[in-house]
Amino acid sequence: MVNEVFFLGAGFSIALANSCVTNGKTYPTLKSLTNEILCDFSKTSLGTHLHEISQKYTENIELLLTYLSTDLPWQNQQMIHLDKALYFELTSKISKYFNDLDKVCEYNFEPFKNLSKYITGNKIPIITLNYDTLLERMLLFTMPKDSQNANSYNKQYTCDFERIN
């Protein structure tokens, strides 16, 4: 048994994303993702609600999503529903952002092949702070073709995990 664990942050995804050939679109940092997603909300009714939320939450989309998903004791039902609506809209936009990016990306995981084989071959646990699925794609790249199906995520994780599209 290998006594190792990989603890990965955004830098790992950026390195993987640099292997992606795009039409001028790049994988974002958390800050640029926040700016990109939130800029569309200024002229909507949910944008009005977004501007009612403290700036300390709206500067980081991760923090904002955590805030919106929490039923706070001082909120009335209307505020709770507005938070849930904003949460749904934000997560939909994030999903669309990455799906659109994937349509224009052709990933070259070849430089990461040895690392991926080492991780999968030794069944090394991975802790990742990334919000994307690039790590999973890299690992799938080195799996045998017959294992690369929709259920292959279950083979990578020791706990139940469903792919979110």
DSSP readout, the chain? -----EEE-HHHHHHHHTTEE-SS--PPPHHHHHHHHHGGGTTSHHHHHHHHS-HHHHT-HHHHHHHHTS--TT--HHHHHHHHHHHHHHHHHHHHHHHHHHHH-EE--GGGHHHHHHHHHHT--EEE--SSSHHHHHHHHHS-GGG-STTHHHHH-SS------
Q: Is the dihedral of CA 147, 148, 151, 153 positive or negative?
A: positive
pLDDT for res 132: 62
Distance CA 7, CA 27 (A): 20
pLDDT for res 131: 60
Mean pLDDT of 136-161: 60
Mean pLDDT of 128-153: 67
Residue with tokens 């004791």: 73
Q: How many other C-beta atoms lie within 10 A of the C-beta of residue 143? A: 16
Q: Which carries the bigger pLDDT value, residue 90 or residue 130?
A: 90
Chain centre distance of CA 138: 15
pLDDT for res 128: 78
pLDDT for res 78: 92
- Over residues 74-103, the pLDDT tens digits come to 989 999 999 999 999 999 888 888 778 777
In this prediction the pTM is 0.68
pLDDT at 24 over 70: no
Q: Which residues pair with 126 in a beta bridge?
A: 6
Q: How far is CA 114 from CA 7, 47, 141, 164, in A?
A: 17, 46, 11, 27
pLDDT for res 19: 61
Mean residue pLDDT of the chain comes to: 77
Where does residue 65 rank: exposed (0-12), middle (13-18), buried (19+ CB within 10 A)?
A: middle
pLDDT for res 37: 87
- Going by pLDDT thresholds of 50, 70 and 90, the confidence category of residue 159 is very low
